[in-house]
Amino acid sequence: MKSYFVTGTDTGVGKTFFTAALASCLQKRGINVGVMKPVATGISSKTGFRSTDVSILHSAAKVNDLENEINPIFMPLPVSPYDASKILHLSFDKKVIFEQFTKLQKRHDMMLVEGIGGIMTPLTRDYFVSDLIKEIGLETIIVTRSTLGTLNHTMMTVNTCRNHGVSIKGIVVNNYDEKGGPEEKNSPLTIHEITGVDILGVLPFVKDCDSYETVMPYIEKNIDLQSLIS
Ligand SMILES: Nc1ncnc2c1ncn2[C@@H]1O[C@H](COP(=O)(O)OP(=O)(O)OP(=O)(O)O)[C@@H](O)[C@H]1O
Ligand SMILES: [Mg+2]
């Protein structure tokens, strides 16, 4: 069974909601799916976990894994990991990511790993999310927006993956508003046309979307789960 690294064209595009909803759909199908957010930054949440993303992923996949296994690196500042490590004088030890990933991969049949920010988010001065995906050895799923500007961001993300030897499983177009303008309506088709990458599915903009669970019915309906599993 394959595992995936979920990246996005930007921060806030829906990586966590997509990953959590997908993990929950797979878990409901009886798949032993594990989750990971190797690097997180931000203000400590009140969820019992330092990072809100980690708490969402943990509860969606219904895993018993420890917080520091799912999220080996947390820096308590809402900035990029590289800035956080500079400001807080923390070192970035990528070894711990691979140690925990190897452990979790043995415990689960499939792993969904959420990145941080986008593909070129710096983890250190010269080590980027793209390098992490390559080193961890997973195919990536790119979450993108559907609104104006997405062609530029998606193309840059796809080209960066290709230039870094990161293999792309497909693209998920999130926050799609079918009543949107012509650019938005066409975006999934045009993204596929110009990148040649498969569109795994289009997830609509859901009004009052306050939980990944709101997105789950659209994952079931709009994404070919079997193609991700086999
Ligand atoms: N399909 C959707 N419809 C409506 N709102 C959505 C949808 N998907 C995500 N959102 C909203 O966008 C917000 C950001 O989504 P999410 O946290 O998944 O992004 P992210 O890419 O993981 O961000 P980060 O870079 O901080 O990890 C969510 O809090 C949610 O409210
Ligand atoms: Mg997130």
| Residue 116 among known ligand-binding residues | yes
With a 6 Å cutoff on the Cβ, whether 43 touches ligand 1 is no
| Residue 32 among known ligand-binding residues | no
With a 6 Å cutoff on the Cβ, whether 217 touches ligand 1 is no
Structural domain for 203, as ranges: 4-229
Mean pLDDT of 69-91: 97
- The partner residues of 7 in beta bridges, in order of sequence, read 142
With a 6 Å cutoff on the Cβ, whether 209 touches ligand 1 is yes
Over the stretch 118-149, which tens digit does the pLDDT of each residue have? 999 999 999 999 999 999 999 999 999 999 99
- Indicate the pLDDT class of residue 181, thresholds 50, 70 and 90: confident
pLDDT of 73 reads 98
> What does the mean pLDDT of the chain come to?
96
Pick from 65, 63, 14, 73: nearest CA to 38: 73
Atom 8 of ligand 1, residue of closest alpha carbon: 14
With a 6 Å cutoff on the Cβ, whether 132 touches ligand 1 is no
DSSP 43-106: SPPSSSSSSHHHHHHHHHHT----HHHH-SEEESSSS-HHHHHHHHT----THHHHHHHHHHHH
- Indicate the pLDDT class of residue 223, thresholds 50, 70 and 90: very high
Res 45 pLDDT > 80: no
Res 44 pLDDT > 80: no
Q: Structural domain tally of the chain?
A: 1
pLDDT of 57 reads 98
Q: Which residue has the tokens 């793209």?
A: 130
- At residue 148, φ and ψ (nearest 5 deg) are -50, 130
14 C-alpha to ligand 2 centroid (Å): 7
- Catalytic residue set: 37
Ligand of minimum distance to the alpha carbon of 18: 1
Q: 196 to each of 7, 170, 190, 191, how far by Cα in Å?
A: 18, 10, 10, 8
Q: Say which CATH number the domain at 205 has.
A: 3.40.50.300
**Cβ atoms of 160 and 149 closer than 8 Å:** no
Res 60 pLDDT > 80: yes
Q: 204 to each of 14, 17, 102, 218, how far by Cα in Å?
A: 11, 12, 34, 8
